[in-house]
Amino acid sequence: MFCSRVSILAIAMITVSSTIALAKPTLLSRQVIAQTPTSVPQTNGAKSGGWLKDLNLTSQQLQQIKQIHNQSKQQIAEKSQVIRQEQQELHDLIAGTATKGQVLSKYNQIKLVKQQLADVQFENTLAIREILNPEQRLKFADRMYKKNHPH
């Protein structure tokens, strides 16, 4: 039971913490052209489990976080799939004979979907924040900041 709670939290936190990375697209960067992985490796969840435990969440908080994750899971999966498909199309356009306008149009489509995905993930962050007490919020924010700004 404890492992399933940690797993659920790890998935939720990974989903939430990737918002900043997706919100900063750069023109035709490797990140835009590269394929987005279909799932998060288990090692990331395992690393996250330790600090999630440090939040000392109640069973009610765990249930609420699970609910937040479940409410957006489908939407996140759909947008991620669209991004992967459009990134492949962008790759093909760049490699082919498409015009500059066609390539830019595809890039802008990808940017839009990435922003929509980032918005959903940030809404999850805000929803999770609302169920945490001040001490938990501080730990949550510190961990998110350290993960997204390692230096």
Please say whether the beta carbons of 2 and 59 come within 8 A: no
Please say whether the beta carbons of 118 and 19 come within 8 A: yes
Which tokens in the block code for residue 49? 């489990």
pTM recorded for the entire structure: 0.65
Percent of the chain as helix, strand, coil, to the nearest 5: 80, 0, 20
pLDDT number for residue 1: 52
Number of domain units in the chain: 1
- Residue 116 CB partners (closer than 8 Å, separation 6+): 79
pLDDT tens digits, one per residue of 100-109? 999 999 999 9
Distance from the Cα of residue 28 to its chain's centroid: 20
Mean pLDDT of the 119-135 span: 94
Q: The domain containing residue 97 runs over which residues?
A: 2-148
